[in-house]
Copies of this chain bind each other. A is one copy, B any other.
Amino acid sequence: MTDVSATGGRTPSRAVEQALVDAAERVLVRDGLGGLTVRAVAAEAAVAPMGVYNRFGNKDGLVAAVLARGFEGLRVATAAADDADPVDRLLICGRNYRRFALDHPQHYGAMFGAGWAATVPTEELVDRADAAFQALVDRVGYAVDRGALRPGDPVETAQLIWSSVHGAVSLELAGLGRTADPAAGYEALLRMLLDGLR
């Protein structure tokens, strides 16, 4: 994503919002959700702290914007799985999911944990979350239509898949996994899903 660098002095009106969200993401990645404070973000963006309130209403609004970006990233990763073979497509999709989470642990943790719990979802955030899920539903529908998964509502099947991969990734990120090789464990999970949904 294109970063709007602060140029010193006063940030142009049209650049304040993006500067703040960019900065918030950097702070989140560097210091975690606990380090994401209004002052830290403002300093990172070389913007006045009041900018957060002027543009996002409050800190929660800023966090929601960051989470929305997270879900957009997740949607892109999910939708990138476009192999012709339906089973391959689902496997790639599942691997992309984990890859995204491992590459963006702070985003992922905030999206489904404290960040989400603390925020009142904005319309943008809900739309982005819906879109990310829809990308999975699309891939499930592709597989069901081609007989790779048993007939059924793609939304419900996608929810089952989502539950499982989300659970696996969440526990892994939290350091709560109990097996020696998380990657192998995740592959076993994907196989289990395919076996259980055929």
**B189 in contact with A192 (CB, 8 Å):** no
**B178 in contact with A167 (CB, 8 Å):** no
Nearest CB of B to A135, in Å:
13
- A150 and B109 CA atoms in complex are apart in Å by 33
Report the contact-size class of chain A (Cβ under 8 Å from the partner).
Answer: 35 or more
**B170 in contact with A166 (CB, 8 Å):** yes
Residue of B nearest to A186 (CB): B163
- A166 and B178 CA atoms in complex are apart in Å by 14
8 A Cβ contacts from A170-198 to B: 170-171, 174, 176-179, 185, 188-189, 191-197
Nearest CB of B to A156, in Å:
5
- A156 and B193 CA atoms in complex are apart in Å by 15
How many copies of the chain does the oligomer comprise?
2
**B133 in contact with A159 (CB, 8 Å):** no
**B170 in contact with A188 (CB, 8 Å):** no
A113 on the B face (CB < 8 A): yes
**A179 in contact with B167 (CB, 8 Å):** no
A129 on the B face (CB < 8 A): yes
**A117 in contact with B171 (CB, 8 Å):** no
**A163 in contact with B167 (CB, 8 Å):** yes
- A34 and B114 CA atoms in complex are apart in Å by 10
**A174 in contact with B116 (CB, 8 Å):** yes
